[in-house]
Structure 1
Amino acid sequence: MAEIYFLLFTFLIVWYFISLRKIAERARALTTQHCEQHGLQFIAIARCKTGFGSSKRQGIFIKSVFEFEFSGDGESSYKGYLTMHGNKAVNFDLPAYKV
């Protein structure tokens, strides 16, 4: 019986890390697309927070916050935030920037 619990626990950990990787790839693609649409230069992205959330619509999901750097004029850089629920972008938060 212990082997079954060990396999289940191992499977859940592997699933969690694979899901985190997919979410990170989706966040990078969405952030790059958002920067292109607004005429910004995308610089970098990093995960700030990760946890679990729940809602009536989606059930239990992985909630992630990403911090990304961008430039509006090619000289200075600014930090923005992307909040994701699972693979869906919920909010882009950008400060005022030079164009």
Structure 2
Amino acid sequence: MTRENKGRLIWNHSTHLEGLIPILEKLVIFPGIRTIAPGVIGRAKSHCPHLKLRISVQILGGFKVIARQGKTVQEVFIVTDLSQQELELAIKEILD
């Protein structure tokens, strides 16, 4: 894939969930994904032992994804032309 076809990963926060950035770097290469921006980090009540990404809601031009690991959650905004099902398949392919 050429550089022109690759999306971009925005580093707008200094902290990220452990292991999240390498996954996002792989995801940004998928055709149809234009921009990925990690967002706010928060705490969850329940424990999630392994890093998981789940599509939360559709936003203008893409989707908000929730990344969870341990008791920490982080919003990830993905600007894409992909449908929700196509994005779910791309995420599944990277996490497997």
Give TM-score scaled by structure 1 length.
0.33
Greater Rg over alpha carbons, structure: 1
Give TM-score scaled by structure 2 length.
0.34
Q: Which has the higher strand share?
A: 2
Q: Which has the higher helix share?
A: 1
